[in-house]
Each structure stands twice: as structure tokens, then as C-alpha cells.
Chain A
């Protein structure tokens, strides 16, 4: 007989180790829960009244729509994708329910209409899934195109708020699952969590994580990656549909725009909840907590009486702190960077740092470059670039021909070409910055308020005076460099996802622009700037010449400089690039600086174009800036793309918008067509 203690001790130690491991794995979720509880407690402490069951019930319903939609988003992100159609689907379901429920039937069945909503969402998800999983297109463009199409369809279903939602739906989703103990929204979320824990253990769940971690490996192991990806988008769509049903229940009526603003909050909820953008790690419990953190911040801003101008800054701070705290550990990027820094300082003291060694050629004989490079034929050298850059240009030609047929007055009309070039100049400039960031595998979401802040700063500083441009432009550009540096440092030094850092930066810039301008930007663009953007010299606006110079600069920068090559190297494999001696940190920081500078240039030019700056003037450029880069043949995960293609993308999008603006098509149809053209362009890009 053996001693029981010796037998169980390793077991117990194993259990403790397992427990610790799962705590560490759940760190982000635990942090999100602590942040939520802390904020809830702070809010209750500041409130003059004690927190009642009613308040909790209301809080639960307030965050539920975002939470449910964000759960869907989590699934897509776990699979390594990205879904921009989430908000649009919520609006669509709300509009369909509100227009189709019979006002005479006060007893409409909640389960039946829930099913309708989920099916509509799943239908849209199936479209996304088909193009992503079967056609193998990039999720971000597919869902962007589908977003435009769904928004158009929603406006066709319902062009103005109204309609009717049966009160039974409200009673079902907002009432009590157990009176005075369990509000219905909490019960709905609990059901989702239980389903999730079951799903995670099925072969689908295992494959989902495998696909998100490494799609190649998952495929090679014989997992059904395509089916899994397809099912993920369908499930996610169904969840957006459920969110749409919930918002219908909550508001008791329809509004075709109600869900559109939910898109960015779903991303914020996902990252606060600790799910890794890029896939393979995370889960929905954290996401749900993340959604409620976002909601409770609204209450807290009120309790603390934070001025409206500071609200977005405070929110960005919460986002950054929550995400940072969730990822902090001994082997997180931040601690690694700190250790690297200490090591570098130590090495410098000891004189062992690489840069302190004498500069002499230490290459081994066999690494010497060949004396003669093999001559490649034109197609061998550029075929790959052309393969991805040409589709945008081909689509552009098609759109131009259609414009000529429908509206006439294109090919022989210098005025048309001038308008096209001037209007696409903004996107063409943004494409360099956003493109460089995307080539390294990042994404810059701080463009909208980077543009607005630059424009507002410029017009405020110059006050309509040409001479002041010489001081104002450098100041604006310096501010942009600062913004880019902070973005880059956030990504490199803190090791946070670019989406989190730049989303938070966007909020901060919004706050700064509001505070600086006091809500109404003053001042004009000076005459020289207005001349640049609106005058005509020999039939062309002067900015067209600037564009030619810019395009040449961009192509040379990305294609012919060491900096450009390093960008591609980092995008293809950051590790390989670093091991080859590329200072990857510097490269990544530089691309964010470049992006911020491009945004600032666009802000300046837009101010000249409009004659003055306005606060919302960057809002319409974020999604198009991503679209032109991807339509131009770049890979959203980085490493592939050419500026010539992006330029084609910018011209294509502008030509398409010009065509649609010229037709007599109803506005809702225009959105649908726009989405279809983007989809067609990326199908042409298919490998």
C-alpha cells in the first residue's frame, strides 16, 4: 500500500499549476471584470441614491445590444477575420422588424420574430462567409462592401424612423427572467455564455481557435478550415441579428441608422475583453464585460461631471488602461521592451553594444553579393506587382466607360479629369500613409480626427494670412509627427494592437480639436491655399501638379528606398526582418509618423478646398482610406501591395462616386452599387 500523500502531492501541484495557468490565460477577462466592478462601485459611490434592482436591470439592458453584437464580432476576430458589417446588420434587422410587425397584433410572438431577426443576420453572414471562406477574399473588404450594400437595403426597407414593434418583444427582452433577481438581458447573455462554453468544446470550437492561430497549420492538419470560417460568419451574422432584435425590443420602434454607430464600440469591447486581434486567443466572456465597461463609463462621466469636450479623452484613457492592464505580464511586450532597454543600457556601459564596435566590413566571404545579377524579363520582375495593381485600373477604365455611356462628357472633357484628380487627391495622399501602415500589418484608425485637428489648427493659426503659412504648416506637421510617434510607440513599446492604440488616439485628437477650437473652428484658409485647391491654370487646378510630384515621391519611397524595403520586410515577417538586422521598431514607428503626416497634409488641403476647416471633415475618409489600399491590391495582413495599385484604387472609388452622383438613382441604390463595385474589384484580385 502506498502513502496517499506521495500519490496526491504531484496531483495537487499539478492542479495548482493548472489553476495558475488558467488564471493567467484568463487574466484579461479578470482585469475586465475588475475594471467593470471598480467602475460600478465608483459610480454607486458617487450617486446620491443607492443602486437599486431597477438601475441594475436598466444598466443590463443598456449594454446588451453592444454586448451581443460584440460577441458576434469576437467569433469573427477569433477566426482571424474582421467584420465591418456588424452595425449595418443591426440596423437592417431593426428596420425589417419595425416595418413588418403588424400594429394590430399586440401579441406578436417574441420567439418567432427573434428567429426572423437571427435568420436575416445569418443570411448576411452567409454572404460574408461565402466571399471570405469560399472565394478567399480579404474579410475587411468583403465586409466593408457588404456594409455599404446592407446600409442601402436598410434605407430601401425604411427611409425614415418609425414603424412598430410589438410590446411583447419588449416584455420578453427587457422584463425579468426571475422577478427582482434576474433581469432578462442578463439571462440572454448567460444563455450565450453557456452556449459558448459548449461550442468551444465541439470540433467547431477547436478548429475556430486553430484557424485563428495559424490557418496554414490548421489546414495542413486536415481541419475543415473553410467550413469553420463560413460557419463563423453565419454565427456572427445571427448574433448581429439577435442584437438587432434586442435593439428593437429596447426602443419599441425602427430607425434605419440605429446600429451604424455600434461598429467601433464592438471592436473596443472585444479588445477590452482580451481577445487578440488577428485571432486565436480570447473569448466572449471578456467581450461582454468589455461592452459593459464602455457603458458604465457613460454613467461615470456624468457622475464626475466631466466636460463634454473631455469625454472622448477620458474614454480613450479607459480603453488604453483596460487593455494594457489585461495584457500585462512578465513576458508581455512592454516588460520585454523594458528588459531590452535595461540590457542595452548595460551593454553600452560595458562598451559591448553593436553600434559601439568599430565600423568595418565583417561579412563572411560567402555572403559577398554576386558580381552580376541575373537579368529578369519585365514580366518576371513586375508581374507580381501588376497582377495585384492592375485590377483597380481595369475597373477604373470600366467605370469611366460606363460614365461616358450614362452621363457622356467624359473622355474629351478636361473638366471631368480635373475634378476626378482633385477629388481623388485626398484619398491618394491618405493611401500612402494608411498603405504603409497596412504594409507593416497595422491599421491607422486615428486618421479622421488627425485630418480634422490639422485643418482646424491650420486655419486657426493662419487667420487667412498667406505669410503665416510658413509658420503654421511646420507647426501642424510637427503636431502630426508627435501624433505619429505616440501611435508608433504605443504599438512598438507597449505592444498593443494598432487598432486599440489608434482608436484611442482618435478619441484624444477629437478632444484636443474640440478644446482648441471651442466647438466652432475659426479662421479661413489663406488665399494661396485656396488658389492651390480651387483655381484653374491652363484648365487644371494647381494641386494636380502637386499630386504628380506626390505620386512619384510615394512610388520611389515605397519601391526604391531602403526604408520602403524595410516596410515590406516587416510586413512579411517581423521576426525575420529583425533577425536580418532591420530595426523593426523604428520602421513601425516611422510608418505611423508617415501616416499622421499624410493625414495632416489632407487636413491642410481640405481646408484649402473648402475655404475653412470644420470639425467633422475627416469623418468620411477612414473607411475609404482602407478600401483604396486593399482594392489597390494590398494584403491587409501586410507585406504585399504597391502604391500604383492604391492610386488606382483612389481614382476608382472617386470615379465611382462621381458616376453615382451624376445618375438619377435613388440614394439607397447608390450605396448598394458602391458596395457591389468594391466587391467586384476585390474578386478581380483573387489569387
Chain B
């Protein structure tokens, strides 16, 4: 009864319930996510599921996904429950880089491979898959400074205060801005890594200002929204301010030269040649963590820290994909048709050299390439 109901419920993800205790393949691998209420997390989870069901991994991996929400206490409990349930490896999106240390240590002591993606776990026995967050902050800030010729008033919209990712990115960016006399950060707001929050915060920031008072924007998430707001305020697309920010597909489409033919576009989700640099913590990092977990269980040598290449896209390098297959992305495309990706906030940095199983459909609906 139970199993029928549950398998029905999760058929899309094709998870296999079972209590196999195999030390050899198939490995029991558990995924502990933090929160599933945003696009990034949903894509990451889709890509992990897609990899687990791809023909290369379907026979090797029994994947089970659980969500801890925003509560670190729950994730601690969850990881321990996974160890008790006989996990061979645990892939985790850590809610806190430090709070999990003790439970991760005890999991390692019991021979379980623990591998974190996107966020880091500082416990030495854990494996980490992440980008260099400080570099992300620095590179985007340097681009903005260069774009403005070292002179101008800018607005900064940060992420979730108190997280290590936000602190690393913001500190690095502010260092760059401080080095340039001509750059003034005239407003700073908390964007919580959400397009919706970015809009309310920008509205507050702009309540006592005009768009003409500022020369550029540095945002962790929200350039798409900032461009949309400028269009609404009657600014011509060619006069939109330079914005250093996130890798949302909406933002990438806006970067394409005005007049580019795309399917299913409607303003402001249209090509407008917006001056941008687009970076992202890539949502494939979860799938990469799963691949590395299998590698470790297979006995391969894996570094404790896997630093993913920072996906940086500028107006010079942005290219539209026709189908979004892995092959096509390998050839260099990095923005998807609005007709296929209807949500502009959806993160477009999904290409991984080492994961030919994952194309656009993996991130959209959890369906692998093969």
C-alpha cells in the first residue's frame, strides 16, 4: 500500500525505495537538501535526479531525496537518520557551513562519504563542490568598474546576510570598489537572492532617487528585475544601466542584441542588448557531487575540494541555444529560448563539461540526455 502510494507520488523522480545494504553497487546515496522553494534548488534537485536515472548511473545508484527546510537542527537530525538507514554516501546542500561539522564527523567515522555542494562544510573529512565565491564577487565588481571607466555612483544588492557565501562575495566586491576612488556605493540593500525581494528593495532604494542618479548596479540576484524596472520607468533599452549580477535565463536573454529572433518572448523577457556580466553558482554542482560520490565509492581518487569553473557570461560571449542539448551547450551556447524556459528567474548556468548526461531537460524536468 505504502509503497504503491509513494512510488506513484514520486514516479517522476523514479526513486527506488529499498533497504538494500550493499557495500558494492548499487550504492545507497541520500540527498539532504535545504529548501525547495526556489528555482536554484529545484533545478539542482532535478539535475541530481536526472543523473541518478541516466543510463550510466541507473544501475549504480539508489537515490533518495529529503528536505530539511531552513532549520539546521533538522538537517543534523536528517543526516544522522541517513547514516542509521545505511547510507553509503550522503550528498548535502548544507544549511550552515559550520553547524553540521559534528554530525558529518560522526558520519565519516562510520565510513559514510559526505559531500557538500554549493555551500561548504568546514569539517575536514567532508568533500566540497563549490565555486570560488570571493572570485565571483571580485570578477563581477571589476567588470562593473571597468564598464564605468572607474567613475560612478552604484547600488549594491546583497544576498542573505550572515551566510558565508554572501559575506565572501560582498566583501570581495567592496574591496574592489574601495580601491577605486571614483566609485561610490550610494545605496545597499538586502536582496535575499530573490528576484521578488530585489524588486521591492530596488523600489525602496529608488523612492528618493532617479535612475539618472546612478550609473551602475552590482547585484547578487536581480539584474533581470532591475532592467525590467528601468524599461517600465520609460528608459530606452539601449540606455539601460550596466549591471553585474546573476545568471538567470531572463537576464541572459536581455543581454542578447536587440532584435535577436527568439521564441515565446514577451517584454521585459526579450533581447535588448542590456550591458551585463552574468555569473552564477551553477545548479549542476549537486549532480557533480553525486558523480564524485560514486567515484569515491568506486575507489577513485577525489580531491577534498572540487572548485567548479566560475561561469561568467558577458555581452560578447552570450549565445542563444536552439534545443539546449549538452552537445549544443558544449559548442558554447548559454541562453535558452523563452518558449522552453518560461520562467525568467530560472538559472541558465547548467553546462558541465564532465556531465554529458545533463542537458536542458535535466534541469527543467529531471530527464537525462541518455
Contacts and interface: CB of A to CB of B under 8 A. Distances in A.
Interface of A: 47-49, 55, 58-59, 62-63, 65-66, 154-155, 158-163, 170, 174, 247, 250-258, 260-262, 265, 295, 298-299, 301-311, 403, 407-410, 413, 415-416, 419-420, 422-423, 452, 464, 510, 514, 518-524, 527, 534-535, 606, 609-612, 614-617, 619-620, 657-658, 661-662, 664, 667-668
A251 B232 contact: no
Given A250-B102, A255-B72, A298-B74, A410 B208 contact: yes
Given A305-B15, A520-B346, A661 B67 contact: no
A114 B111 CA distance: 33
Contact of B98 (A251, A403, A620): A251
Interface string B24-35: 000000100101
Contact of B208 (A170, A407, A422): A407
Interface string B95-131: 0111111100010000000000000001000000000
B81 A299 contact: yes
A63 to B, nearest CB: 8
B80 A58 contact: yes
A609 B84 contact: no
Nearest to A315: B69
Contacts of B189: 661
A615 to B, nearest CB: 4
Contacts of A523: 342-343
A87 to B, nearest CB: 10
Contacts of B310: none
B201 to A, nearest CB: 6
A257 B162 contact: yes
Contact of B204 (A247, A261, A510, A657): A657
A161 B188 contact: no
Interface residues of B, number: 96
Given A265-B71, A612-B344, A667-B188, A302 B82 contact: yes
B163 interface: yes
Q: Is the interface of B mostly helix, strand, loop or mixed?
A: mixed
A610 B167 contact: no
A253 B85 contact: no
Contacts of A65: 73
7 contacts: A253-B101, A295-B74, A298-B81, A304-B6, A416-B207, A615-B38, A658-B207
Contacts of B207: 415-416, 419-420, 423, 658, 662
B324 interface: no
A412 B6 CA distance: 61
B21 interface: yes
Given A252-B102, A304-B6, 16 more contacts: A49-B86, A160-B162, A162-B97, A253-B122, A257-B160, A295-B74, A308-B65, A311-B67, A409-B208, A510-B37, A514-B36, A520-B43, A614-B195, A616-B35, A661-B205, A664-B188
Given A420-B207, A612-B345, A662-B205, A261 B80 contact: no
B254 interface: no
A160 B164 contact: yes
A664 B10 CA distance: 48
Interface string B325-358: 0000000000000000011111000000000000
Given A49-B86, A159-B167, A302-B85, A667 B158 contact: yes
Contacts of A303: 81, 85
Contacts of A614: 38-39, 194-196, 345
Contacts of B312: none
Contacts of B194: 614, 616-617
A406 to B, nearest CB: 9
Contacts of A520: 39, 42-43, 343, 346, 364
Contacts of B344: 611-612
B182 interface: no
Contacts of B167: 159-160
Contacts of B188: 664, 667
Nearest to B161: A667
Contacts of A298: 68, 74, 77-78, 81
B53 interface: no
- Most chain A beta-carbon neighbours within 10 Å: one of B21, B77, B192, B266: B77
B85 A423 contact: no
B206 A419 contact: yes
A162 B190 contact: no
Nearest to A44: B84
Contacts of A304: 2, 6
B44 to A, nearest CB: 10
Given A62-B76, A416-B208, A302 B81 contact: yes
Contacts of A464: 266
B64 A302 contact: yes
Given A62-B73, A307-B6, A522-B342, A423 B102 contact: no
A160 B163 contact: yes
Contacts of A416: 207-208
B147 interface: no
B309 interface: no
Nearest to A527: B266
B164 A161 contact: yes
Contacts of A254: 98
B13 interface: yes
Nearest to A308: B67
A529 to B, nearest CB: 13
- Nearest first, the 3 closest Cβ-Cβ pairs linking A and B are A519-B42, A253-B98, A160-B167
Contact of A305 (B43, B64, B99, B161): B64
B41 interface: yes
Nearest to B44: A519
B296 to A, nearest CB: 22
B39 A251 contact: no
B199 A610 contact: yes
B220 interface: no
A336 B207 CA distance: 55
A308 B33 contact: yes
B317 interface: no
Nearest to B342: A522
